[in-house]
Amino acid sequence: MIPVRKFDAIVVGAGGSGMRASLELARANLKVAVLTKVFPTRSHTVAAQGGIAAPLANSAEDNWHWHMYDTVKGSDYLGDQDAIEYMCRRAIEVVVELEHMGMPFDRLESGRIYQRPFGGHTQSYGSPKMAMRACAAADRTGHAMLHTLYQQNVRANTQFFVEWMALDLVRDPQDGAVVGVVALEMETGEVSIFQAKATLLATGGSGRMFFSSTNAFINTGDGLGMAARAGLPLEDMEFYQFHPTGVYGAGVLITEGVRGEGGYLLNKNGERFMERYAPNAKDLASRDVVSRAMTTEIKEGRGCGEHADHVLLKLDHLGAEVINLRLPGIREIAIKFANVDPIREPIPVVPTAHYQMGGVPTNYMGQVVAPEGASKEAIVPGLYAAGECSCVSVHGGNRLGCNSLLDLVVFGKSSGEQMLKDMRALPMPHRNLPKDAGEATRSRIGRLDGAKSGERVADVLNDLRRSMQAHCGVFRFPEDLVEGVEKIKTIAERAGRTFIADKSKVFNTARIEALELENLVETAMATAVSAEARKESRGAHTRSDFPNRDDKSWMKHTLWFKEGNRLDYKPVHLKALTVETFEPKVRTY
């Protein structure tokens, strides 16, 4: 018998969105369990550097209409405009709330929150004037936010289960409602069922499926794997953002805030090449635009270094004072990982896999939605998702910088509110667990424990990462995509034959890595299959054979199902909540 623990609500993941939701629930005096693979303040939200977007207008004129326009344009018109309006309208409220919780934002002379310009954020609907919208705590905004939220959760008596890994969702066979999760305690190797009236997935992205990534080792798409195995679709997985500036060779993130403060990119001729690609926004164009420009410069032989395979990010002209005050962490990263001091010399950078725009499909209340009968968006009872693992879709084909921290708190909060509302409408006791709850998970672990020989996890993982990097990069070629799908299929078969030499129970990291690989295989499969099928270029998905956006055939969201790699599609929500629709037009910066 698998032991069962009962809670009102379960949150899987303790990053920004998970902890914002758990805070909402714990403040309402519910019994909340937060499961997390690492200590909460070590979640990947801690790596967010540049800021959180909110039109506070502390330094320059701004309003949520402009922010909404920028987000819709940034998404290459694949973002759902109702959700985008919802996010932009709640931005000021959630940022002020963080400030009242004690988040240590940088200040202007007047005492107001310091804001810096950021890529793709403009004034008056895309004018050449950049908006100052990114509320920053030096270059460690995510760090400040995560600690603030953790402290508030401790105060509200949220119960954290640290170093637990959620493995699978438990669904009621009658109506598909989610009634809990099966999870593994790393310390003992024991499996438990967490039973709840509401379950929130807040597990972050799956950047570790790429060879070079700004993501931490924990970002293995666990929530996506859980959803896919439970028969739920994954939405828009072909859209993976490559951040323009990862440290060359190491992949560590260099924030867009560097360019917001006035840094810029150079090729080997010392030319500020972004002026050719984006005459207005220059180095602060959308991320997909900048990454493509950099990749083109390198491809055409204007890269730097002995292999001509990177470009340079110049910020020495900002002066030591600005760098030490506004970008202290960046200086530290550059010295440690690139062996250059940005006060004196430029940083070698290259586009690096960074953020997943796709994920588990949800509405802006955080409820997970999936096709059922005539509806493309039937609500899955008891299941919610927020943050990078979800696809609301506010980011569409490409996310704007510093909209990710905003996404976390807005939808973390809204899903917490919705969970409360839904639980109050339910009959009081928990539903019964299905008879075979947790059996599928046990047999997965049993297979690993019983295997005497097979594929090494590290080998399969490295092949997966290399294939994704080669076949699903910044530019995508038709033959590469077809070949990529076949390669990932082979790798998926191999992942079913992995074995681990260490069969011990206590803190067996090899077992954890093997289970994480199974999740990465689902995300990679979804990405490759969805990308191969989308015959257009939009946002971060750029095909050599279809260089243009095709709104007539492809203005729709992809839905990938694990079973038979089936694809389905659903329309983009073009109708906003209260304002006129922003009609698709050509995207220039």
Q: pTM of this prediction?
A: 0.94
DSSP string for residues in 424-465: HHS-SSPPPPPTTTTHHHHHHHHHHHH-SS-EEHHHHHHHHH
Helix (H, G, I), strand (E, B) or coil at 36: strand
Cα–Cα nearest to 113, from 101, 125, 96: 96
The CATH number of residue 477's host domain is 1.20.58.100
Q: Please tell me the predicted confidence (pLDDT) of residue 249.
A: 87
Q: What is the pLDDT of residues 527-570, one digit of tens each?
A: 999 999 999 999 999 999 999 999 999 999 999 999 999 999 99
555 with 75: CB under 8 angstroms?
no
221 with 359: CB under 8 angstroms?
no
Q: Please tell me the predicted confidence (pLDDT) of residue 432.
A: 87
Cα–Cα nearest to 537, from 529, 553, 548: 548
Helix (H, G, I), strand (E, B) or coil at 197: coil
Q: Please tell me the predicted confidence (pLDDT) of residue 588.
A: 86
Q: What is the pLDDT of residues 393-419, one digit of tens each?
A: 999 999 999 999 999 999 999 999 999
Q: Please tell me the predicted confidence (pLDDT) of residue 69.
A: 97
Residue 182 domain flag: no
Which is catalytic among the residues 229, 287, 444, 538? Answer: 287
Q: Please tell me the predicted confidence (pLDDT) of residue 431.
A: 86
Q: Please tell me the predicted confidence (pLDDT) of residue 218.
A: 95
287 is catalytic: yes
The CATH number of residue 327's host domain is 3.90.700.10
Structural domain tally of the chain? Answer: 2
Cα–Cα nearest to 314, from 351, 268, 277, 373: 268
Residue 322 domain flag: yes
Backbone angles phi, psi at 193, to 5 degrees: -105, 130
- How far is residue 331's CA from residue 320's CA, in Å, rounded to a whole number? 10
Strands 566-571 and 556-561: antiparallel
Q: Count CB-CB contacts under 10 A for residue 30.
A: 20
Helix (H, G, I), strand (E, B) or coil at 420: helix
Q: Which pair of structure tokens corresponds to residue 340? A: 């250059």
Residue 536 domain flag: yes
Residue 344 domain flag: yes
Mean pLDDT over each residue of the chain, to the nearest integer: 94
Domain limit, last residue, from 351, 366, 390: 351
Residue 307 domain flag: yes
Which residue in this structure is represented by tokens 């979640």? 43
Q: Please tell me the predicted confidence (pLDDT) of residue 427.
A: 73
Q: What is the pLDDT of residues 247-285, one digit of tens each?
A: 998 889 999 989 989 999 999 999 999 999 999 989 999
Residue 118 domain flag: no
The parts of the chain modelled with pLDDT lower than 70 are: none
Residue 401 domain flag: no
Domain limit, last residue, from 351, 386, 412: 351
Helices (H) and strands (E) in the chain, counts: 16, 26
DSSP 563: G
Q: Please tell me the predicted confidence (pLDDT) of residue 257.
A: 87
Question: Domain containing 480: what range?
Answer: 439-546
Residue 290 domain flag: yes
